Structure 1
Amino acid sequence: MELFYTISVVFISRLIFLFRDEALSIKDAVIKAVIMIIPLLVFTINLHLILFLIAALIIITGFYFIELKKRAAVLNVSRVIELLLILIAANILFSSSFEITFNENVIASIKGFKKYFRIMEFISIENMEYFWIMFSGVLFVMNELNIVIRILFELFGLISNGSDEQVTDKNELKAGRIIGILERVIIFILVIANQYGAMGLVIAAKAFARFKAMDEKNFAEYVLIGTLLSALLSLFSAVIIKTMLM
């Protein structure tokens, strides 16, 4: 449970990338680091945890300066590498070789709250572990897959760069990303719930919403590739999470 709690915290801190195609400002980088580090203080403080926090700060700081020098086309690649390094460090930290657990005072506080909030009676170690695995999966398809899809689009030249980027309708781009996020989350939940047939309705609804714009060949191909890629990656992610929950 501790590992997936940490992974969820890391994913939450990275939501700042959701609608950003440019490097983070110093303020945003600090906010990102604070969002990631403060929730980890619920663990028992020891040398291993301190070393992980220091390593995470070094990685975030290093990639902040790397971002400042990167073009938009390769910016997302550095963000994926940053995530991989932090996740590798987290997996090492929470392996059986180290004893990183929640602070006993935190556990006692949660048990104390159960006396006053009936809705918390369902909380158990098993339920919380299930929750953090599911939550990390949802956050992954929301933002991390968004970054991966952007990388693939840039790789195959499906996203305009340079001067064309200046004339792109930002509101339309933002709306498209929100639709993509909702599409991936819904497909993720449907796969977890074994409702594979309903995935077709989600894809059909998206196609219906873009029906008038489908007359333009390039746009139609862009939407089709994006939809299929988004659905495929969401399906693959959900299957992995579902396997973990068994």
Structure 2
Amino acid sequence: MALVLVTGASTGLGLATAAELADRGHDVVVHARASVRVDGLDILDRMRGVVLGDLADPEETVRVAEQANAFGRFDAVVHNAGTMNDPHTMPVNVLAPYLLTASMPLPGRAVFLSSAMHLSGRPDLDPVLSGRGGSYSDSKLLITAFALALAARHPGTRSHAVDPGWVPTRMGGSSATGDLVEGHRTQVWLATAPEKDIEPRSGGYWHHRAVRRPHPAARDAEFQQHLLQALHTRTGLALPDADAAG
């Protein structure tokens, strides 16, 4: 069975992802912003553990990584946490997944939550470097590019981006037309399915277990490199060596 970390797992897709992984017998560590977010959740007794911290705060994000590292190297990390709150969009949706990846041993698999809205995003790195501006769509383009960059540069980690659809979570709203069940099943599958069942084995952009074509910038090697450099510059942390996931 796999050891899996799921961020933003107190509600919505993250909670559904963690619950299904646990139902399938995997060891699941759930992340929440604060203990009050998970107090009383009836799934906690089925979880391997809980890590806490606000992913909008880089220092707290690094502490989340430190807590997670106490469980050992993860077989998979599902970077589910996200927000549409403008001041926190880039920190939570882009910087936090990078910081966690740079602060932990590379997992066997990494799954990053994207969105179809990334297709209207701008390949603009200024919000990463300056910490100002950038839309939700921009953030999802950047995290999709990061997922594919990780796949290209670290073949020991199977890295994918997922569009879960517009689903009726707290962020998606009650008018969302997507299927909440289908919205999390691809993440569970990518995190735990036999590698022979996943094609491409790394570097895919998925929607409901079907490969889709991402924004051209997300697959552009030069843009990926500029993004990694910008994230390194902004955070002061580099990704682990490629063989760290072996």
What TM bracket, shorter-length normalisation? 0.3 to 0.5
Structure scoring higher RCO (CA < 8 A, sep ≥ 6) equals 1
Highest Rg: 1 or 2?
1
**TM (normalized to structure 2)?**
0.33
Structure with the higher fraction of residues in helix conformation? 1
**TM (normalized to structure 1)?**
0.33
Structure with the higher fraction of residues in strand conformation? 2
